[in-house]
Structure 1
Amino acid sequence: MSVSRFFGSTSREAMRQVRLALGPDALIVSNRRVNGGVEILATDATASATPAPVSMPVPEQSQATASIADSAPTPTAAPYAGINQQQQPAELMSAIGAMRGALENRIDELLWSNQLQRAPETLSLFQSLLGYGFSTALLRAMLKRMPAHLNDRAAFEWARHELDTHLPVLASEDRLWQPGLALALVGPTGVGKTTTIAKLAARCVKRFGPDKLVLITTDTYRIGAHEQLKIYADILRVPVHVVQDSAGLRQLLLSIRPDQIILIDNVGISQRDCFVADQAALLASAGRRIQRLLALNASSHGDTLDEVARVYKTDGGTPLSGCIITKVDEASRLGPALDTAIRYQLPVHYVSDGQKVPENLRFMTAKQLVDMAFTRTSYNSKALYAPTAGDLAALLSVAEQKEPVNDADEQARKQKLTALVMSGAGMRKVDVDGLRQHTSAIEHSLALSAAFDGWRDLSVGPQDATYLAEQAEDLMRSALHEVSESPESMLLSSYQSVNLALENEQGKSKILLTTLCTERGEALAAPLQQLAGPMGWLNTVGEHVLHEPQWADQLLQAVQWVEQRRNATPIMHMLEGFTPAVWQVLAAEGTAFMASVPLGSRFWHENGTTSAAARIKQMQFHAVSDLSRKLQLQQLAGQSIPSLTLWVAKERVAIRQRGVAELPLELIAVRLTDRYSGAVLRDSVVLVNAGAFTQLSDADVAMWAVLQHEQRLVGRLVAPAWRAVQEEASTQGLSVAQQLRTSALLALAGSDVQYSSQRQGLYGQLQTLLQQRGALTAPKLIEALLRCFALKEALQEA
Structure 2
Amino acid sequence: MKIRRFYGKDMRDVLKQVKDELGGDAVIMSNKKHADGIEIVAAYDKEPEAKLQPKAKTAPQSHSGKSVKTPTLSEIIGDTGPDSLKALLEKQAKAAAETPEKVKADTSYTAHNAPVSSSPVASHSSPIEQNALKEMRQELSSLRNILQFQVSGLIEQENNRKHPLHSYLVQKLLQMGISNSLAEEVVAYAPESANERQAWLFLLKLLANRLQTKQDDILSQPGVVALMGPTGTGKTTTVAKLAAQAAQKYGAEQVAVVTIDNYRIGAFEQIATYGKIIGCSVKKAQNANELSDLLYQFRNKRLVLIDTAGFGQKDARLIKQLDTINQKSCVTIRKYLVMQANCQYRVMQQTVKEYRQISLQGCILTKLDECYSLGEAISVAIENQLQVCYLTNGQKVPEDMQPADTKFLITSAARLYKKFGLIHTDANYIKNAAVAV
Regarding TM over 0.5, the answer is yes
Gap change, CA 1:116 and 1:184, over 3 Å in 2: farther
Q: What TM-score does the superposition give when structure 2 sets the normalisation length? A: 0.59
Q: State the alpha-carbon separation in 2 of the partners of residues 349 and 146 from structure 1.
A: 29
- State the shift of 1:292 in Å: 1.1
Is the CA contact 1:253–1:286 (under 8 Å) kept in the aligned structure 2?
Answer: no
Distance 1:259 1:143, change over 3 A: same
Question: Where does residue 549 of structure 1 map in the other structure?
Answer: none
For 2:394 and 2:154, how far apart are their aligned partners in 1?
Answer: 44
One of 186, 189, 195 as aligned partner of 1:142: 186
User: 132, 155, 164: which is aligned to 2:176?
Assistant: 132
Matched, 1:349 2:392: no
Distance of 1:232 and 1:150 partners within structure 2: 53
Contact 2:219–2:242 at 8 Å: present in 1 too?
Answer: no
> 3-state DSSP class of the match of 1:215?
strand
Q: Greater CA deviation, 113-122 or 155-164?
A: 113-122
Offset, 1:207 = 1.4
Q: 1:259 offset after TM fit, Å?
A: 4.6
Rounded Cα–Cα distance in structure 2 between residues aligned with 1:307 and 1:340: 10
Aligned to 1:374: 414
Give identity over the alignment, percent: 32
Residue in 1 aligned with 2:351? 308
Read off the aligned partner of 1:328 and give its amino acid letter.
Answer: L
**Greater Rg by CA:** 2
Q: What does the per-residue CA deviation read over 1:356-378, in whole Å, with 9 as the maximum and x for residues that have no partner? A: 11111012321111001111345
Deviation at 1:132, TM superposition (A): 1.1
Instruction: Name the CA distance, whole Å, in 2 between partners of 1:364 and 1:180.
Output: 19
Residue 299 of structure 1 is matched in structure 2 by 342
Q: Which residue of 1 aligns with 2:10?
A: none
- Which whole-Å CA distance do the structure 2 matches of 1:365 and 1:135 have between them? 21
Does residue 275 (structure 1) correspond to residue 317 (structure 2)? The answer is: yes
Residue in 1 that maps onto 2:291: 249
Is residue 151 from structure 1 mapped to residue 151 from structure 2 by the alignment?
A: no
Aligned partners of 2:218, 2:270: CA distance in 1, in Å? 25
2:33 alignment partner in structure 1: none
| CA shift in 2, pair 1:342/1:249, >3 Å | same
State the 1:141 CA deviation.
Answer: 2.0
Q: Bigger CA drift: 302-311 or 141-150?
A: 141-150
Residue in structure 2 matching 1:223, options 256, 265, 286: 265
Amino acid at match of 2:205: H
Q: Which runs of 5+ in 1 are unaligned?
A: 1-77, 83-107, 389-484, 488-798
Q: Which amino acid aligns with 2:200?
A: F
2:362 alignment partner in structure 1: 322
On the 8 A contact 1:217/1:264 being kept in 2, the answer is: yes
The structure that is strand-richer by fraction is 1
Distance verdict in 2 for CA 1:112–1:343, change over 3 Å: farther
The reply on whether 1:165 has 2:212 as its aligned counterpart is: no
Per-residue deviation, residues 560-611 of structure 1 (Å, max 9, x unmatched)? xxxxxxxxxxxxxxxxxxxxxxxxxxxxxxxxxxxxxxxxxxxxxxxxxxxx
TM-aligned CA distance change 1:184 to 1:112, over 3 Å:
farther
Q: How does 1:295-444 map to 2 (within 5 A)?
A: 295-313=338-356, 315=357, 317=358, 319-379=359-419, 381-382=420-421
Letter matched to residue 212 of structure 1: Q
Q: Which amino acid in structure 2 is aligned with residue 168 of structure 1?
A: Q
SS at match of 2:312: coil
CA deviation after TM superposition for structure 1 residue 217, in Å:
0.6
CA distance change for structure 1 residues 200 and 110 in 2, over 3 Å: closer, same or farther? farther
**Aligned mates of 1:350, 1:264 — CA distance in 2:** 16
Number of residues of Structure 1 aligned to a counterpart in Structure 2 = 279
Q: Pick the structure with more helix per residue.
A: 2
- Which is worse superposed, 370-379 or 110-119? 110-119
1:286 CA displacement: 4.3
Letter in 1 for 2:326: A
CA drift of 1:117 comes to 3.7
> For 1:376, what is the secondary structure of its paired residue?
helix
Higher RCO (CA 8 Å, separation ≥ 6 residues): 2
246, 263, 266: which one pairs with 1:204?
Answer: 246
Tell me how far apart the structure 2 counterparts of residues 109 and 277 of structure 1 sit (CA, whole Å): 43
3-state SS, counterpart of residue 300 of structure 1: coil
* 1:234 maps onto 2:284 in alignment: no
- For residues 450-470 of structure 1, the C-alpha deviation after alignment (integer angstroms, 9 at most, x for no partner) is xxxxxxxxxxxxxxxxxxxxx
CA distance in structure 2 between the partners assigned to 1:113 and 1:165 by the alignment: 31
Shift of residue 257 of structure 1?
A: 2.2
C-alpha distance 115-150 of structure 1, shift in aligned 2 (>3 A):
farther
Following superposition, the deviation at residue 274 of structure 1 comes to: 2.3
Q: Is the 8 A contact 1:180 1:258 kept in 2?
A: no
Q: Is the 8 Å Cα contact of residues 188 and 271 (structure 1) preserved in structure 2? A: yes
What SS does the corresponding residue of 2:372 show, helix, strand or coil?
Answer: coil
Aligned alpha-carbon RMSD (Å): 2.7
Task: Write out aligned runs for 1:443-522 (5 A).
Answer: none
User: Contact conserved, 2:313 with 2:350, CA < 8 A, in 1?
Assistant: yes
The change in CA–CA distance for 1:312 and 1:110 in structure 2 (over 3 A counts) is: farther
Structure 2: how far apart are the matches of 1:321 and 1:233?
A: 25
Q: Deviations over 1:713-734 (max 9, x none)?
A: xxxxxxxxxxxxxxxxxxxxxx
Q: Relative to structure 1, is the Cα distance of residues 109 and 378 closer, same or farther in structure 2, using a 3 angstrom cutoff?
A: closer
Quick check: 2:418–2:425 contact (8 Å CA) kept in 1? no
- Taking a change above 3 Å as real, the CA distance of residues 115 and 181 of structure 1, as seen in their structure-2 partners, is farther
Q: Secondary structure at the match of 2:354?
A: helix
Counterpart position of 2:47: none
Q: Which amino acid aligns with 2:372?
A: S
Q: Deviations over 1:540-564 (max 9, x none)?
A: xxxxxxxxxxxxxxxxxxxxxxxxx
Alignment check: 8 A CA contact 2:368 2:393 kept: yes
Partners of 1:249 and 1:286 within 8 A in 2: no
- Displacement of 1:221 after TM fit? 0.8
The answer for unaligned runs of 5 or more in structure 2 is: 1-110, 116-151, 427-437
> In structure 1, how many angstroms separate the alpha carbons of the residues matched to 2:232 and 2:325?
20
Deviation at 1:133, TM superposition (A): 0.9
User: Given the superposition, is the C-alpha separation of residues 201 and 228 from structure 1 closer, same or farther in structure 2, using an over 3 Å criterion?
Assistant: same
The CA deviation at 1:340 is: 0.9
Query: What are the superposed Cα offsets for residues 729-784 of structure 1, whole Å, 9 maximum, x if unpaired?
Result: xxxxxxxxxxxxxxxxxxxxxxxxxxxxxxxxxxxxxxxxxxxxxxxxxxxxxxxx
Amino acid of the structure 2 residue aligned with 1:235: I
User: Where do 4+ consecutive residues of structure 1 move more than 6 Å?
Assistant: 108-113
